[in-house]
Amino acid sequence: MGKFQVIDHPLIQHKLTIIRDKDCGTKVFREVVNEIAMLMAYEVSRDMPLEDIVIETPICESTQKTLSGKKVAIVPILRAGIGMVDGILELIPAAKVGHIGLYRDHDTLEPVEYFVKMPEDIDARQLFVVDPMLATGGSAIMAIDALKARGGSNIKFVCLVAAPEGVKALQEAHPDIDIYTAALDEYLDKDGYIVPGLGDAGDRLFGTK
Ligand code: URA
């Protein structure tokens, strides 16, 4: 089973409270989502492999550490996932960004991918799939299915707020992936909102209703 980690650093908890407040407006919401995503990226990237390289400091030749292994691609699930991309890019500026938009057809119940644009080499990259809310887990599961179908294998899922129902569903569907969240909330209500949650993350990020 992959890792499940609540990244509950005090700064993250403080910032999460700011965006949970219903009176937090679009500008601050957008800024703080990116700030939390950046802080989370620090922890999510903790196990990145290092290798030795020899450099010359102004004083002497020296063996030092440099990142090795897979390069990163951030994959936001449309549309709310876009709100986390810039924050992660602050820490990992060379990451590529793939976008994925999908929904489940009401009649056939089959996933419909309405937009998928990935870097060519996703099979060779560490993929950070991002979506602020892990509610039922439906979109995360479909997005990861779509990435695996294209050769993606090294996948971490990063969200801000998770419902226990979504964590369970995602772990059952994709036991190999690591899940990171800033908070594990109480439950999903009958309309599919996370309680206490923060409402509709996409609407709050983009100022829509
Ligand atoms: N998606 C959201 O944006 N918010 C929720 O509470 C659940 C799903």
Catalytic: 108? Answer: yes
* Structure confidence at residue 209 (pLDDT): 87
Model confidence over 149-205: pLDDT tens digits?
999 999 999 999 999 999 999 999 999 999 999 999 999 999 999 999 999 999 999
Nearest CA to ligand 1 atom 3: 200
- 201 marked as part of a ligand binding site: yes
Model confidence over 64-114: pLDDT tens digits?
999 997 799 999 999 999 999 999 999 999 999 999 999 878 888 777 999
ipTM of the complex: 0.95
Name the active-site residue from 104, 150, 176, 189.
Answer: 104
Measured in degrees and rounded to the nearest 5, phi and psi for residue 119 equal -60, 150
Model confidence over 118-147: pLDDT tens digits?
999 999 999 999 999 999 999 999 999 999
Enumerate domains of the chain plus CATH numbers: 2-204 (3.40.50.2020)
102 Cα: distance to centroid of ligand 1 (angstroms): 16
* Structure confidence at residue 111 (pLDDT): 79
Nearest CA to ligand 1 atom 6: 193
Question: Do the Cβ atoms of 127 and 107 come closer than 8 Å?
Answer: no
Between CA 31 and CA 38 the distance in angstroms is 11
192 Cα: distance to centroid of ligand 1 (angstroms): 7
Catalytic: 26? Answer: no
- 183 marked as part of a ligand binding site: no
* Structure confidence at residue 104 (pLDDT): 79
- 185 marked as part of a ligand binding site: no
Q: Please name the residues in contact with 13: beta carbons below 8 A apart, sequence gap of 6 or more.
A: 182, 183
Catalytic: 121? Answer: no
pTM value is 0.96
The whole-number average pLDDT for the span 14-33 is: 98
